[in-house]
């Protein structure tokens, strides 16, 4: 019974666009564990016992949180299911403050990437990092791009997070840079249509990009407790776009919605997160609030 309920829950949520790969494995494991103990409904004691099999406290909290979410869903139809208490604490780990590059730092990053010993590697990562900084793409989206995704209307990002596809406009300078790279890149892997490929002639992997980025950051001489990652370029793009937000309540709402759609966020809440997570934007918000309180424009 629990196994069927789990499959129903996963099917409904996947229809809404969630992949639930690891969550599905956890919940199937929980259902099998419960049924082996003769439980036909979610039982708090069994859920806590199963979650306790994880090695770390955070792992136990994560496991139990998956069961709690499932239990909330299934209890709407059958109150015989328990709603387990979160005895291991919250599984949520706060997102760190994003690292925001200055325009000068992005130039230095691209220049550092261009100092690789291999000419093709230089061109690949110089183009990739430039593209990430001026479009806000996720790394996973960029390395899946194919030649046919570069269209006259923009760049087509297919089946991204939440199984969404979107069209990303390209500035003429970005398009010119991509065109130059494509002509340079074709001879290296003529039978592969991925835009970015490695020296192996295969599509880039996320770990390839992370390693190249780390080397470039090291060349820049950045020494901080929380070093930037390739995703920091997406953070930077989002923050600069928010800084350009026009005045006026309706125009701000339209700007936020447009940016959320452009970035491929599943919810506009993910876009609003930058307002509270970025010191530069919080400073702007505080200044506007102070101006409003003292009689200035909101």
184 is an active site residue: no
Rounded CA separation 193/133 (Å): 23
166 is an active site residue: no
Contact assessment for residue 175 and residue 135, using Cβ atoms and an 8 Å cutoff: no
Contact assessment for residue 70 and residue 18, using Cβ atoms and an 8 Å cutoff: no
73 is an active site residue: no
Catalytic: which of 161, 175, 255, 288? 161
284 is an active site residue: no
Catalytic: which of 60, 62, 138, 185? 138
163 is an active site residue: no
Within 8 A by CB and 6+ apart from 196, the residues are: 124, 127, 128, 142, 143, 145, 185, 203, 204
Catalytic: which of 63, 234, 235, 262? 234
Catalytic: which of 231, 255, 284, 288? 231
118 is an active site residue: no
Q: Which residues are catalytic?
A: 138, 161, 231, 234, 265, 274
């Amino acid at each position: 019974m629990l196994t069927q309920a789990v499959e129903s829950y996963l099917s409904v949520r996947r229809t809404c666009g969630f992949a639930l790969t690891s969550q599905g494995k956890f919940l199937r494991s929980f259902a099998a564990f419960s049924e082996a103990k003769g439980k036909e409904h979610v039982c708090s004691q069994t859920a806590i016992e199963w979650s306790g099999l994880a090695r770390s406290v955070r792992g136990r909290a994560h496991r139990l949180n998956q069961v709690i979410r499932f239990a909330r869903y299934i209890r709407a139809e059958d109150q015989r299911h328990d709603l387990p208490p979160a005895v291991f604490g919250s599984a949520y780990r706060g997102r760190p403050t994003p690292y925001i590059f200055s325009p000068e730092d992005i130039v230095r990053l691209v220049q550092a990437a261009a100092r690789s010993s291999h000419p093709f590697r230089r061109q690949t990562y110089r183009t990739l990092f430039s593209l990430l900084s001026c479009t806000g793409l996720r790394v996973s989206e960029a390395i899946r791009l194919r030649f046919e995704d570069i269209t006259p209307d923009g760049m087509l990002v297919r089946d991204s997070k939440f199984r969404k596809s979107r069209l990303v406009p390209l500035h003429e300078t970005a398009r010119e840079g991509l065109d130059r790279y494509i002509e340079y890149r074709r001879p290296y892997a003529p039978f592969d249509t991925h835009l970015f490929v490695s020296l192996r002639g295969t599509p880039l992997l996320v770990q390839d990009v992370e390693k190249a980025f780390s080397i470039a950051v090291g060349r820049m001489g950045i020494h901080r407790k929380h070093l930037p990652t390739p995703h920091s370029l997406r953070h930077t793009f989002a923050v600069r776009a928010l800084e350009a937000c026009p005045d006026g309540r309706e125009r701000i709402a339209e700007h936020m919605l447009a940016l959320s759609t452009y970035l491929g966020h599943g919810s506009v809440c993910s876009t609003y997160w930058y307002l509270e997570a970025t010191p530069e934007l919080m400073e702007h918000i505080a200044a506007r609030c102070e101006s409003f309180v003292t009689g200035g424009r909101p």
